[in-house]
Amino acid sequence: MTSEDKISILVEFTGGLEMLFSDERKHKLSVPAKDDKGKAVTVGWLVDYLCEEVMKDTRKEMFVLDGHVRPGILVLINDADWELEGEASHALQPNDNILFVSTLHGG
């Protein structure tokens, strides 16, 4: 795969989610531009990718429940609520900043 087939994005975890991702808040990722069916990768694809490739923690259910981002976790795409950006169907663009914030921790 050549570098043209990759896009680089910045994924951030806050609100306690970072503990699922090696206690690292920021993850600079280089991800394939197309999925294995040749379609442009989306945030939904990214969520699966994060679970399978990035998360070392075994508690996947703290991030994804029933195939969706766990209720109570906010997703911001370039600082905008992902509901404004097509949610999981948003196609990743180069240099996108995807932020996952848990509202579930600490009070």
Partner 1 sequence: MAPALCAICKDARALIIRPKNHQKLCKACFIAIFEAEIHHTITTTSLFSPGDRIAIGASGGKDSTVLASVLKTLNERYNYGLDLVLLSIDEGIKGYRDDSLETVKRNAVQYDMPLKIVGYDELYGWTMDQVVEAIGKKSNCTYCGVFRRQALDRGAKMLGIKHVVTGHNADDVAETILMNLLRGDLPRLARSTSIVTGDESSEVRRSKPLKYAYEKEIVLYAHHKKLDYFTTECLYSPEAFRGSARSLIKNLERVRPSAILDVVRSGEDMAKLVPEEVTGISQCKSQKVSLSSADGEDEAAGGCGSTSGRNSGGEMADMEKRLKEDEEASAREIDVSAVAATAPNGQPHDRIAKVEPKKPAKQEAGRKLTRQTLGTCKKCGYMSSQDVCKACVLLEGLNKGRPKMEIEVSAEDEESSTLRREMEGLALAAG
Residues near partner 1 (CB under 8 A): 14-16, 19, 71-72, 74, 76, 79-81, 83-86, 99, 101-107
Nearer to partner 1, 5 or 89 (CB): 89
- β-pair partners for 81: 76
* Minimum CB distance to partner 1, residue 104 (Å): 7
Exposure of 87 in the CB half-sphere (CA atoms within 13 A): 5
Of 54, 51, 49, 46, nearest to 75 by C-alpha is 46
17 close to 73: Cβ distance less than 8 angstroms: yes
Nearer to partner 1, 16 or 32 (CB): 16
* Minimum CB distance to partner 1, residue 47 (Å): 15
